[in-house]
Structure 1
């Protein structure tokens, strides 16, 4: 019975991945989203405390969008806005986070999450990761079919742009790891 459940879960995951019309030009960086450790939580720590707080708030926001929880998205984005105002060069990104905190519409929050994620991915690529790995993930269906990126601490795809509607739509495009 357990075997059938696992087999069914894998089949459903593969069907969802196919439904997303994924293309993979960079297979070396793509992780198998149905591997046994795909949902393993990966503790990510940044060397800079402000960047660390920023990433934690970003993750809370992403998780709120995945679960379509408007109130939690507002709270997380407000904290994110506050931490971003203390980071040089992140003023515009702080304004985007503030927009999300003021919105009561999950679709608008998700739409604003697109440029927010782009900015924060660039920030994290230039930050020093002390421990763990950040996964840059991509959904080709988001942003009216133009695609959109986000960051996660797990290999498993949990799409913040569609939530339950297309929870596993996407792929890992890049891994940001500790600096040596």
Structure 2
């Protein structure tokens, strides 16, 4: 009986040693990383990204007062706008019909910039183009990256504002730029952010 009791105590001790000294703790279960889900197809988003890339290159040309760079980027933007498969938006009639108008106007604005006779004409077309692309982005709920809507209060003189789109919150003014005949580069950072277009989001259904 005594031997049996000793054996039971030894087994109990061995179990406790195993449990507290040797048994590995389970690693905490990691939550899955949220995955972004777009409203549009990958092909459509790629086309929109091409439009914005060409637009951003064009505004850089405006900043530098570089006629050749503006013309080249405008030609690329014309192509990107024509290649946008807007028919894909027909799954939602309201979005489709709303998107058509600013898209067609953007094509006209870009053609004006490409064939512009002087900087004043190009910059007025840039102002109109920027507003039309902004309307398009809001209509389709562009969700690939934030886009900043910025304004220069004196783009066309005192009290005459002009707007543009940027991939950065930093103000780099394409209307006055760094070679303005009157201000030089002193007004390069003149302006402010008026709106952030940001439909990027996480797939809440995957957060478990």
TM over 0.5: same fold?
Answer: yes
> 2:173 is matched with which residue?
159
C-alpha distance in 2 between matches for 1:143 and 1:50: 32
Question: If each structure's strand is expressed as a fraction of its own residues, which one has the higher value?
Answer: 1
The answer to whether 1:83 aligns with 2:80 is: yes
Residues 171 and 190, structure 2, Cα contact 8 Å, conserved in 1: yes
| CA offset digits 1:118-164 (Å, max 9, x no partner) | 10111112234444321110111123433121111111111111112
The residue correspondences of 1:17-56 to structure 2 (distance < 5 A) are 48-56=45-53
2:122 equivalent among 102, 109, 130: 109
Question: If each structure's helix is expressed as a fraction of its own residues, which one has the higher value?
Answer: 2
SS at match of 2:140: coil
C-alpha distance in 1 between matches for 2:70 and 2:154: 22
Residues 70 and 104, structure 1, Cα contact 8 Å, conserved in 2: no
> 2:92 is matched with which residue?
none
Q: Highest relative contact order (Cα 8 Å, sep 6+), 1 or 2? A: 1
Residues 138 and 149, structure 1, Cα contact 8 Å, conserved in 2: yes
Task: Report the CA distance between 1:104 and its aligned residue.
Answer: 4.8
C-alpha distance in 2 between matches for 1:142 and 1:96: 17
| CA offset digits 1:30-78 (Å, max 9, x no partner) | xxxxxxxxxxxxxxxx951221111111111111101111110001111
Name the larger-Rg structure.
2
> 2:197 is matched with which residue?
176
1:60 equivalent among 47, 57, 64: 57
1:139 equivalent among 116, 134, 152: 152
Q: What is the TM-score when the length of structure 2 is the normalising length?
A: 0.59
Q: Which runs of 5+ in 2 are unaligned?
A: 1-39, 87-99, 202-208
> 1:14 is matched with which residue?
none
